[in-house]
Structure 1
Amino acid sequence: MASSAVRPTQLKRKSSDPHKLPTRFSMVRSFQLADFVTLGNGVCGCLSLMFAMKALITQNTDFLFTSFWCVPAGVLFDILDGRVARWRKSSSLLGQELDSLADFCSFGIAPAVLGFACGFQKMLDLVILTYFVCCGLARLARYNATVAAMPTDSNGKVKFFEGTPIPTTLVIVGVLAYGVHNGKFWRFANPMYQHEGPFAVFSQAFTPEYVWGGEISLFPGYELHPLVLMYAVSGTLMISRRLRIPKL
């Protein structure tokens, strides 16, 4: 009987077994309140993408404007998560990475998809939109890699940004929303889908005279919408190391 009894030391060793499965929802339990606010930013970015695709499928600008509004909502969550973290005096490497991923979704990918939805669909347009997305990704990666070495104030807050912060792409979204509101992009003759081929309706809606600013031909067969260059400017400013923006 005595030889079959489990010793206390054995119980302790078993409880500290490195191969033991983690408890359920252990990752979610480790989230701080600010992390859940950051997730709200990511949700806004995801919804913006879905509503933009829904707008193209249904040819309904109501879905497009909903997609536009999701981006400033993401900015609001992005502002709040930092304030909540300072209020709760809680910050972590997980929160920092989560914030960057949410920002990339809401302010990197979503504005590019909205540009595509508004008619920037030529091959050179796609090159510039891809450049813009890559700049946003590189800017966030650089910030995460260098934030620990950047100068801070007495509260431990970084004093300035290198390059424009990625939420400034809200300006681009505002330009697109203004254009759609004033009939500068979408001009569907028939709101219902016309079965004349998979791209017939879209070529009708995004002809040069309908897309704001028209289009120019740089090479035979390679056209460009000049307004898409605002994405190139925004991306270049984000990755600039000489441009320093004071952090408010």
Structure 2
Amino acid sequence: MSTLSQRKPSAPNGKTDESKDAALHQYQETEGHFSMVRNFRLADLVTIMNGVCGSFSVFSSARYLLTNDEDYLWQALALPLAGLLFDFFDGKVARWRKESSMLGQELDSLADLISFGVAPMMLAFTLGMRTYLDTVALTGFICCGLARLARFNATVALVPKDATGKSQYFEGLPIPSSLGFVGILSYWTKMGWIEGKEGIPWGVVTLWGKPGGSGEVHVVCFLLVAWAAAMVSKTLRIPKI
């Protein structure tokens, strides 16, 4: 994955301009309708499975909203964790096969955004965070995750490396940390603290207007705002273990 599996270039001089041009030519010199598929490496297919897990999580959340069948809800909660496993193993596979690709580097971040950005926020909406300001906070979290992944792609070569070439720390909170929030949502689901049962813990506050209006927001959204701010922080450095 973009933040954990180290599939990105590890140093500013890790690729010369000539090698980058050679890497790009592999996409230009193939012909045919499915030529892009032939450019996939095994690690890229593992990365795509991360995106598959995130997408199925979103659809499972939607099915729960349609049917109120909690089996779909538990599927939606479990699938981001399955995505994390694929996210971990894509880097392992790339190192085992001793191959990487520019396509794989971008797939990493796109899959992470689905599994650890969109899917968890869809779960939050599904479980009851549905006011206007709630959706603003959820959208802000996704966008901060998007910005964090884009910055990682652009600046990973500037982060100090250890003797093995791995970055010594993360700048900002990695987006897979959102699985911690999914864990919280799983506990709330088990306890019945969701919409249609006992409701989201800590309730709502009204920032303006009348209760029930557009100025109402769930208190837990302030946690998400702080979480999103930590992802795009330039000064927060998370040591790698």
For Structure 1 versus Structure 2, the TM-score category normalised by the shorter chain is 0.7 to 0.9
- The aligned counterpart of 1:237 is 230
- List 4+ stretches of structure 1 deviating above 6 A: none
Unmatched tracts of structure 2, length 5 or more: 1-27
Q: d(CA) in 2 for partners of 1:87 and 1:160?
A: 23
- The aligned counterpart of 1:15 is none
Q: d(CA) in 2 for partners of 1:158 and 1:150?
A: 6
1:21 Cα deviation after fit? 7.5
Q: TM-score, normalised by structure 1?
A: 0.80
- The aligned counterpart of 2:143 is 134
Relative to structure 2, which stretch is displaced further, 126-135 or 99-108? Answer: 126-135
Structural RMSD (CA): 1.7
1:155 Cα deviation after fit? 2.6
- The aligned counterpart of 2:5 is none
1:35 to 44, 47, 68: 44
1:96 Cα deviation after fit? 0.9
1:122 to 122, 131, 140: 131
- Structure 1 residue matching 2:207: 3-state secondary structure: strand
- Structure 1 residue matching 2:156: 3-state secondary structure: helix
Paired positions, count: 210
- The aligned counterpart of 1:163 is 172
Q: Show the 5 A alignment for 1:63-212.
A: 63-187=72-196, 210-212=199-201
1:92 Cα deviation after fit? 2.1
2:216 to 193, 205, 223: 223
Q: Larger Rg: 1 or 2?
A: 1
- The aligned counterpart of 1:50 is 59
1:162 Cα deviation after fit? 0.3
1:151 Cα deviation after fit? 2.1
Q: d(CA) in 2 for partners of 1:213 and 1:242?
A: 30
1:22 Cα deviation after fit? 0.6
1:59 Cα deviation after fit? 1.1
Offset from partner CA, 1:53-107 (integer Å, 9 cap, x none): 0000101121011000001101111111111112222122211100000000000
- The aligned counterpart of 1:213 is 202
Q: d(CA) in 1 for partners of 2:168 and 2:96?
A: 19
Q: TM-score, normalised by structure 2?
A: 0.83
Distance 1:20 1:39, change over 3 A: closer
Distance 1:20 1:127, change over 3 A: closer
Is the CA contact 1:44–1:106 (under 8 Å) kept in the aligned structure 2? yes
Unmatched tracts of structure 1, length 5 or more: 1-18, 189-208
Task: Look up the equivalent residue of 1:144 and give its one-letter code.
Answer: N
